[in-house]
Chains A and B, each alone.
Chain A
C-alpha cells in the first residue's frame, strides 16, 4: 500500500489558519509541538508534518480501518530533511518528504522493499481541474505500463473513500494514492517487483 499528500505552499500560506494556536492545538499533540520551532521555518515544519500525517493516514484507511478526523493520533518525528516517521497506535510508519519552493510532498510506502515506487508531481494551472488532471496523469502512466487503452481506465471510490483503479469496469490490483492541493497534484504508484510474483 502507498499513501501520499501534497501541500501547495502558496495556497497554504494564503489560508491563515495555520498561524492560529487553536489550529495547531487541534492538529499536533503536545509532544510534537516543539518540533514546529525546532529547525527552519515553523510554517514549513507545520505543513511537512501535516503531509506526513496525511500520507500515513491514507494507508491506515486503505488497510480497512474506519476513517477518523483526529490528526493528533498520528505523531510525527523528523529524522532529517527528507526522512521521518509517524507513530500511530504504537507503530512507526516511515515517511519521505520532498520540499521545493512550491510544494511539500510526503509519501509512505508499506512493504517498500518489494516494490518500486513511481511518483509524479504535476503543476495544474486551474485548481478546479486538479483532481481530473491528476487522475489523467495516473491513467497515462498505467496505460503505458500495462498497455491498456487510456479510455478504458477509470477510478471509483469505495465506501471509505479509497480510490480503486478499474479497467473496463474490472478492478485492478494496482496500489496507488492520489493527492492534490491548490495548483499541484500527484500520484504514487507501486510497481511490484518481479520476484514478488514467485511467492
Chain B
C-alpha cells in the first residue's frame, strides 16, 4: 500500500531526496514540501485510487505517510 501511496504523491513532491527515502515517518509538508493546496489533491487522488470517501474528520490527520496509510486501511476495510 505504501507504494500505491508513493505513486499518488509523486507529482506533488518538492523534495526528491525525502521522496527517495520515503517511509512511514515521512511528513508530507515538512519532509516532502508538498504545498497545502496540493495536499487536498492528494486526498482526492487517494479517494479515486482506492474508491473510498475520506470525510473531513478522517482527512484531519493526513499530514504524514503513517496517518494516510491508517486512513486508507480503515476506509478500505469498511467497504
- Bound: A73/B29 CA distance, A: 19
CB of A86 closer than 8 Å to a CB of B: no
Chain A residues with Cβ below 8 Å from B33 are: 131
Residue among A7, A17, A70, A157 making CB contact with B41, cutoff 8 Å: A17
Chain A residues with Cβ below 8 Å from B27 are: 161
**Which of A15, A22, A26 gathers the greatest number of chain B CB atoms within 10 Å?**
A26
Which residues of chain B from 12 to 40 have any CB-CB distance to chain A below 8 Å in the complex?
A: 14, 27, 29-30, 33, 35-40
CB of B9 closer than 8 Å to a CB of A: no
Interface residues on B, range: 20 to 34
- Bound: A110/B65 CA distance, A: 32
Docked-complex contact A26 and B37, CB < 8 angstroms: no
CB of B62 closer than 8 Å to a CB of A: yes
Chain B residues with Cβ below 8 Å from A50 are: 37
- Bound: A11/B12 CA distance, A: 13
CB of A23 closer than 8 Å to a CB of B: yes
Residue among B30, B44, B56 making CB contact with A17, cutoff 8 Å: B44
Chain A residues with Cβ below 8 Å from B38 are: 15
- Bound: A71/B27 CA distance, A: 18
CB of A45 closer than 8 Å to a CB of B: no
Enumerate chain A interface residues (CB-CB to B < 8 A).
7, 12, 15, 17, 20, 22-23, 26-27, 50, 54, 67-73, 128, 131, 157, 161, 181
Enumerate chain B interface residues (CB-CB to A < 8 A).
14, 27, 29-30, 33, 35-41, 43-44, 47, 56-57, 59-63
User: Ordered nearest first, which 8 A-B pairs have the shortest CB separation?
Assistant: A70-B60, A161-B30, A68-B60, A17-B41, A69-B62, A70-B56, A26-B40, A69-B59
